Amino acid sequence: MIYSIIRFPGSNCDWDMYYVLRDVMKVTPQFVDYRETTLPEDTAAVMIPGGFSYGDYLRSGAIARFSPIMNAVKEFAEAGKPVIGICNGFQVLTEAGLLPGALRHNDSLNFICKPQNLIVENNETQFTKRFNSKQTVMFPIAHGEGNYYCDEATLQELKEHHQIAFRYENNPNGSTDNIAGITNRSGNVLGMMPHPERASDAMLGGEDGKLLFQSLVESITQNV
């Protein structure tokens, strides 16, 4: 079983993700180039890492979404299989229409890089089941365009279908309803601005993020 990490030109959290999956979770990650048109055959999950794909030209994630690999990622997601987008990965997933809403410039206009407390809002997804409901966790954030926006009707839908996975404790960027991470309605696609892969090793300042990867790996292993 392979955890496929998509690499766009400008991805820069790809190795962080690789490290956590290989060295902390002891599973098998593999980089997948954006020019590929298929995923490795036994891909169990797709990870879209953070960074500045295509230099954030036009809008963050806007051009990555047209990469050759993205059709395969869409098909994978539509088949109900797990896809995680972190930071720029979240932006790519919203641009690709796999998650609702959009990410705007932070309301302060600053690039914000700091530890950030989050509240686990839904611990009944395959990505969050190892967390407690309403648990406070610390994941670092590092983004200039993390200000989540959706219209009122979409927000109601997100709430109704328990799609808000994480909220910020003290909203750092102006996000609608303090939203830090959401899933799609069927719960197999997760996008979030904070970085669980940078909080999965005590030596790097925290281990809360490990719970997310443990949840995912456990869900995948149980489904086999």
- Which of 4, 11, 67, 94: binder of other proteins (CB under 8 A)? 94
Touching other proteins, residues 164-183 (CB under 8 A):
174
By CB atoms closer than 10 A (0-12, 13-18, 19+), residue 199 is: buried
Residues 154, 160: Cα–Cα separation, whole Å: 10
Nearer to other proteins, 70 or 150 (CB): 150
Site string for other proteins, 107-146 (x = CB under 8 A): xxx-------------------------------------
Under the binding rule (CB under 8 A), the answer on residue 151 touching other proteins is yes
Q: Which residues lie closer than 8 Å to 156 by C-beta, 6 or more apart?
A: none
CB 169 within 8 A of CB 117: yes
Residue 64 CB, shortest distance to other proteins, in Å, is 12
Decide if residue 185 touches other proteins (CB under 8 A). no
Q: How far apart are CA 177 and CA 159, in angstroms?
A: 10
Which amino acid belongs to residue 90?
A: F
Which positions are catalytic?
87, 195, 197
Nearest in space to 87 (alpha carbons), one of 171, 10, 201: 10
Answer for which of 14, 16, 56, 95 binds other proteins (CB under 8 A) is: 95
Q: Which of 63, 47, 94, 95 is nearest to 195 (CA)?
A: 47
Which member of 38, 42, 55, 58 binds other proteins (CB under 8 A)? 58
Which of 25, 62, 119, 142 is close enough to bind other proteins by CB under 8 A?
A: 62
Residues in touch with other proteins (CB under 8 A): 58-59, 62, 66, 94-95, 100-102, 104-109, 149-151, 174
